[in-house]
Amino acid sequence: MGRIGEAVEALAQVVARLRGPGGCPWDRAQTHTSLLPYLLEEAYELAQALQDGVPEKIREELGDLLLQVVLHAQLAAESGQFDLAQVATEIREKLVRRHPHVFGEAQASTPAEVRARWEELKQKEGKRLDLARPALLAARKFLETTDRPIHHPYLRPPPQPPSQPQEEIGRLLLAACALALRWGVEPELALRRTLQKLDDG
């Protein structure tokens, strides 16, 4: 096992110890659902670190996000679903499968050609609505591409926007977040669940 494999294995062992008998009460109490807000938070913090371009901060935030991956894999392993090795194997196989211009005989010489082939392969694999993006972006993409009627009064806005539409939308989004906070709901996850139900038809 190389240096990277040893480091990841050591991290996985620490997480297993935290989740195991005599481990940390907080870690032992977590579920896939309870960890979701932390996963989203760490992803956004990494995005900010990448924008800032400070290597030490990027390294730290990559570690925080990696911890979330290992935690979720540990939870799955405990219930006999899959483990971290299977996660790594599956993503490696996907990368090979989706890069036939590198690992096969296909041709793609520009980033645009690679992207088009990637999307084509995703469609062949039966991928549907892409929720692997912030929920607001996923919602906008869904509304841009769907042709099904969605019956909700807020989805039938007046034909003429207000004089300052950006500020009005900002206030509406903030009000929705305030309502979610009052009701104990994570707004990002709530929107994702609604999009998933719509996509499932």
Total domains in the chain come to 2
- Residue pair 58/49 in contact (Cβ under 8 Å)? The answer is yes
Tell me: do 72 and 10 sit in the same domain.
yes
- pLDDT at residue 88, as a whole number: 95
Alpha carbon distance 100, 104 (integer Å): 4
Q: Which domain holds residue 70?
A: 3-82
Alpha carbon distance 107, 24 (integer Å): 51
Final residue of a structural domain among 23, 55, 82: 82
| Burial class (CB within 10 angstroms; exposed 0-12, middle 13-18, buried 19+) of 61 | buried
Distances (CA, A) of 58 to 41, 44, 53, 67, 133: 14, 12, 7, 14, 20
Final residue of a structural domain among 23, 48, 82: 82
Say what percent of the chain tops pLDDT 90.
Answer: 53
- Tokens in use for 200? 């499932």
- pLDDT at residue 72, as a whole number: 98
Q: Is residue 196 part of a domain?
A: yes
Alpha carbon distance 30, 78 (integer Å): 12
Final residue of a structural domain among 59, 82, 105: 82
pLDDT-based confidence at 119, cuts 50/70/90? confident
Q: Is residue 190 part of a domain?
A: yes
Q: Is residue 56 part of a domain?
A: yes
Neighbours of 193 (CB within 10 A): 14
Contacts from 84-92 at CB under 8 Å and sequence distance 24+? 84/8, 84/12
Q: Is residue 183 part of a domain?
A: yes
pTM of structure: 0.66
- pLDDT at residue 128, as a whole number: 62
Q: Is residue 111 part of a domain?
A: no
Q: Which residue has the higher pLDDT, 192 or 84?
A: 84
Closest C-alpha among 59, 125, 62 to residue 90: 125
- pLDDT at residue 201, as a whole number: 66
67-97 confidence digits (pLDDT tens): 999 999 999 999 999 999 999 999 999 999 9
- pLDDT at residue 115, as a whole number: 82
Overall average pLDDT of the 19-47 stretch = 94
Overall average pLDDT of the 133-158 stretch = 74
